[in-house]
Amino acid sequence: MKILVIAEHDNKKIKPSTLSTISAGLKIDDNIEMLIFSTGSQEIVSDSEKISGLKKVTLIKHEIFESQIAEDITKALTGFLESGEYTHILAPSTTFGKNLLPRIAAHLDVQQISDIMTVLDHETFERPIYAGNAVCKLKSKDKIKVITVRGTCFEPCKKESKNTVEVIDSSLTFDGKVNFVKHELSESDRPELTAAKIVISGGRGMQNGDNFKLLEGIADKLGAAIGASRAAVDAGFVPNDWQVGQTGKIVAPDLYIAVGISGAIQHIAGIKDSKFIVAINKDEEAPIFKFSDYGLVGDLFEVLPALEQKL
């Protein structure tokens, strides 16, 4: 067996979701390599050198990989695969991996396995369906397995290695039918939602964006990331990339605190692997209490200041 992990990065650092993907790969086999499509900065090379568990690291270097357009990466990757004899191709099930990997699967004429939670053996996996309300155990009959990995289900691998990174200058030309225009990325000093040990989220009950300040004080004290329900995002209280749930981010922190969130199944889908869930809601009938380890019935405008003060 030979496994290839496609790295997600920001041209500076390899993302934590990639480290979890490597751990998932190691459960299949330890003959595992990582491939990076990048402009090839010194930073990304040194970061990749440290990643444990890898037999080989290859970086395909081209200016075009400043923006990670699916068409461009697909072109370079399908070329790379020709010599590879890989049995498994893995990527994190983030917007990066979801955007890219089905193209590779279609190119290879195989049925991708999305968002695996468990590796049972080299061809048998578990993945959530119906927003995680059921878990499907399946076996792939394809000769190459193309897989995206749910990061929160696998511990990130360590960064204690000293790999050599083979840099290949790409001379490909790209057809330019799809071009990058701009990014509007959220800047934050807080930990990434999907990697944070503690997450505190607000829902429609927060009433407006300003009131999210009530969560910030608590997040500061706990070193927590801040998330939100879809209702809070749709109402424009907070940016879209804060959304937690079936169609937002999947989180699995040690502690998840849901404030003014009713607990719709689509929200629960994104939080139910958290170790402990705390719900704060003024409605004692709110469904969220059925999923929480500790429930507190109360008005968030009284509870939150008290919580911040007593922490």
CB of residue 204 vs ligand FAD: minimum separation in angstroms?
A: 3
Instruction: Compute the distance between CA of residue 124 and CA of residue 266 in angstroms, rounded to an integer.
Output: 26
Which of ligand FAD, other proteins, none has residue 254 at its interface (CB below 5 to 8 Å by kind)? other proteins
CB of residue 182 vs other proteins: minimum separation in angstroms?
A: 5
Which of ligand FAD, other proteins, none has residue 180 at its interface (CB below 5 to 8 Å by kind)? other proteins
Q: Which amino acid is at 307?
A: L
End-to-end CA distance of the chain, in Å? 51
CB of residue 4 vs other proteins: minimum separation in angstroms?
A: 18
Q: Residue 146: CB partners within 8 Å, gap ≥ 6?
A: 88, 89, 101, 104, 105, 108, 110, 112, 113
> Phi and psi dihedrals of 132, rounded to 5?
80, 5
Binding positions for ligand FAD, 227-246, rule CB under 6 A: 229-232, 243-246
Size of the site for ligand FAD (CB under 6 A): 27
Is 116 buried (19+), middle (13-18) or exposed (0-12) by CB count in 10 A? Answer: buried
Which of ligand FAD, other proteins, none has residue 260 at its interface (CB below 5 to 8 Å by kind)? ligand FAD
Structure-token pair, residue 261: 């969130």
109: left (phi over 0), alpha (psi -120 to 50) or beta: left
Given the rule CB under 8 A, which of 35-43, 46-54, 208-216, 243-251 is the region that contacts other proteins? 243-251
Q: Which of 36, 45, 73, 105 binds other proteins (CB under 8 A)?
A: 105
Given the rule CB under 8 A, which of 34-42, 46-54, 79-87, 106-114 is the region that contacts other proteins? 106-114
- 65 near other proteins, judged by CB under 8 A: no
